[in-house]
Amino acid sequence: MTLDRLAQITGFTKGYLSKIENGRKVPPIATLSRIAQALHTEIGSFFQSARRAVAREVTVVRANERPPVQRGGSAFGYDYVGLALRRAHKHMDPFIFTFPPRIDKHVFFEHGGEEFVFVLSGTVEFQVGDERFTLHKGDSIYFDSSVPHRGRSLGVEATALVVIHDSAKR
């Protein structure tokens, strides 16, 4: 059933239903009951099917469904937008990442695995260990993420596709 059709049947807006579907809104039991009735199912099936849906082999995230994510760098001005949060048991974490123009000179990140950064817009100064790299739109860098690293925008804003592979998740 489409969100449009479910919205018509339940009386809820498509946007509200989308937020529920993507875990950005926790609905009251009465709302879940109305949705269950519209889908001709029991309310408990939502909790069972949610686990099954997460385990699916294919996860699609639409452009308007990308939730902001809190990670270690969030406290330092780095913004993350999730690209595959509904996927369970994944070995990679892909994000759209926004670099801040200023960073604390003492803050570096290090974690197990590998990391890939592809600059989508702007210019980034990226440091891995003692090496510094200036990356422009279209440039990429791939490195062992156990080496201390960090990046900053050299302009107003720079964004990148960042894929983190955590070897501990294998």
Q: Which domain holds residue 7?
A: 3-54
Residue 8 sits in the same domain as residue 35: yes
- Residue 101 inside a domain? The answer is yes
Percent of the chain with pLDDT over 90: 24
Residue 117 sits in the same domain as residue 47: no
Would you state the structure tokens that stand for residue 116, as one six-digit string? 């890939």
Nearest to 99 by CA among 88, 91, 107: 107
- Residue 36 inside a domain? The answer is yes
Predicted confidence at residue 28, as pLDDT, reads 80
pLDDT at 55 over 60: no
Residue 99 sits in the same domain as residue 133: yes
Predicted confidence at residue 45, as pLDDT, reads 62
pLDDT at 22 over 90: no
Rounded to the nearest 10 degrees, what angle do helices 3-10 and 14-21 cross at? 110
Residue 98 sits in the same domain as residue 39: no
Of residues 63 and 144, more confidently modeled:
144
pTM of the predicted model, to two decimals? 0.60
The confidence band for 52, taking pLDDT boundaries of 50, 70 and 90, is very low
Q: What is the mean pLDDT of residues 145-170?
A: 83
Residue 26 sits in the same domain as residue 86: no
Rg (alpha carbons) of the chain, rounded to whole number: 20
Q: What is the mean pLDDT of residues 136-163?
A: 91
pLDDT at 71 over 50: yes
- Residue 118 inside a domain? The answer is yes
